[in-house]
Structure 1
């Protein structure tokens, strides 16, 4: 492979300081974006969504586990699939101890359309402790644009309709299960939708990317080439 340019220590230090300036500018820009995200208006959820967990049926408000905030990761695992998607699994592998979120009045959970009888064994196989719920038979995935089926609801992914997705050269997003993230706020029994993200908007949640981006070889592969963590030696 080709190495980056080889220089002496003084030349490296000059280049590193120039990069440091750009890094600080990027952090300040990200701080401003985060402030705008917190200031987004919110939408009250009026539909009665039903989920199934290992212990039975739950409502959306139940998924908060009594906390004020709820982050849901829309995990790609459809009813006709037998195991979870590799890129979604990579993201969940990167979720740190939930206690840190809980201490800040925030619950994180996974939601997929596969039945709970498929989700729980895969969760156990991966060694995850994060709650995982099935939305099988309901509208939740379609309403929050993590599943596209034109026969059920108008196609939309990452705030683009079907025609836009096709024109952009991403027709695969017009059908099937796709990853996403949605955030909710609870006020008593009232639940509000505050934020959703898709595609590369989810990249910051994957610490593996962050570590690899520090290295000269970078990520080295497209996300779809990452495997389930228990298969690398297979």
Structure 2
């Protein structure tokens, strides 16, 4: 066998690491916990040993994938792209809801694989159990609400009954809850238009009731 065909081309370590992360993300979405390092190596165009020159183990690799998909900069760019050129709030909501619906399902598949890897290969340095979600998830959630507030609702502040940030929280909760795998198995699943109707009109025939003192 020609050795040149099996040896990875010399590229900067950061680029090789990024390529492995990208290939692993795609495989985790397609195969979930059935993803193997052999599949990752083939998809990345490297030998299996190359993977472990960049990542200590599968656990570290999967966590890097999770941090990448929840990267606040990546989320900001995605939301900016889908709302660009849209003047009406309904059009912005429709685009963002479709984006969040797809990403929430994709992200859950990756996180399930990450959890499986952690259980299979617990880190011996983790002497204390972690309570609550990882820091990168907390930061990603805050960034998502910030982006929705700034890009979707603040330009329409004069049209809203709620503060833009609170509207962003409602949108995030409705969308992720409606399309999270395992929670949306119903004979009447919510559509993008359903979420828009609830956000902009409420669920009552006579909406817009005056609130009492909080």
Q: TM-score, normalising length from structure 2? A: 0.24
Q: TM-score, normalising length from structure 1? A: 0.23
Decide which structure has greater strand share: 1
